[in-house]
A and B are shown apart, each in its own frame.
Chain A
């Protein structure tokens, strides 16, 4: 049995999709994660290690869920109390999902949004996390080569989720700090026209509300502008509301669903919501993604596609019970908001004391921190240089704004909900030390054009920034190779 390689031999060549960079993991930003993984902070075992502040996870309220599970063993099909349901649950693979699960999710979505809108269980479609939901929506709404407009800065994972296997493009709507990164009509128009000039067909707009990485919520006026623009141009509007339950402060959250309910004049067939329990509940491992569309054809198509990424019925069963417990969800959402608010206030106050400002925010699991004053020049290279100093010298893994396609260098996303109070305090101490005046360490040095630092940093700088797909693997969910499977 010899290996006859004829002219059609191509087994060692995989598809274009497989061999492209669309997965988003080829990046010098691996260096940042390596630094953390090689030297992870631990209060006792490794107090000098790198603190992970690049992970947008909500770890503040898992104790509440844990307590509920303990008190409700029947919700788990592998306990004595719950095992009688085992067979039916294990056997159920209908892509409509368990009816109780859909009802509970619809109800929870309404509550997470402050009760401003109601959701119809019949429109709930499952997906493999929000990651799967984004990809599925792209497959439903756009053909390869067509584009969605997206405000910057945005979650790096979208480049993979929306584009990789779909062939759909993402074109930026540039937002700027002078008006707090607001999405303006002129910016929308500019982005749209630029696409037209380049002969690219725009199929829709993708926004995240609350925003990742900004942590801000869209006001009613902006939402109306978006919906109106979509109607006028006859394009879709996809709203990723994955952080809707993390709004901890005023202004009150407005979901696009409220606009739909308030304004019958607008075509609701254009409006689609992506949701997930990974952030609001803090259960990313359970892979609970939701597509909620007001368009019947999209619901139908997305539901068929959900066969490729259904939620485990074991998990559906547990969550149907938990989220069906009204008492619990009311208390949970309130307490979660309270803890996030407290954490946010504490962190931003700590930064403020050393003259570091963050964009004023009322939601999310992170701050959008302004370190533009620490750059010696307003360039991406300078931002990356500062970033590497922060990782290596300050031992904090934060995320540079350039990886979010931010139009202005010097902004960083810093996560605050994935650690305990003591770790938070430690992080603040390190920041204070880094920026204190007269400090001969990194901060002062970083401002100088000092080649010594470049040499000292064993990490490599990207030479042509624009060429690289600017992803840090930990910025994207699910988490990637550098994380050792822990169990």
Chain B
């Protein structure tokens, strides 16, 4: 039987095969070949697309190049969501490789945040970690860390160093045993049926009676529609890291093992495939 640690590795080393194609409207000097890449699920697009940019810039004139952005089947991809979340939410049941269109102009200011440098990503990533720790430990753990410890988390993610990242992230995942879990579970639920970007509310890992909350308890509270009622056909999939955990899975365990590096448990609720 595998160890829980292997889950962390599997989560970290999850890769999505991706095919980047240049938007045909872009002006090029010659035809651009598609570019194939394995994208880490837990990373962010700006961190892993240097090669993509380099590849397409070869065929572009510099004056035609503005900020690069990505789109999948007409939907602009938000760089500040983890890549795995973008894929699960937008492309779960499509054919691999994931097809992403690369744009260099007409940046959709309404849909996307600008990302001039990777330090934007770092700031976003660190603020997510801090927010998560505020929920988990009243920020005590993250505040006790030194600047270099924060840097270690970020560098671990940026350079895809599992050990480096987890040597530090371990501390963020600790909790007093007598309390049975974090203060609140940092989670975000993404739904296709809703205009809100995601649901994020306070939710404890243990019920007032002392029973561990499960994924089911969370969904019942946050979006009961996502649950399949008795006798009803399954309408929605609850996807985390490309898998559908059983609803009886304890929420605390999920938070410890299936959170993204930003320490949030990203849950995608997507329509079940019809056939």
Chains A and B are bound partners: no
Chain B residues in the interface with A (C-beta under 8 A): none
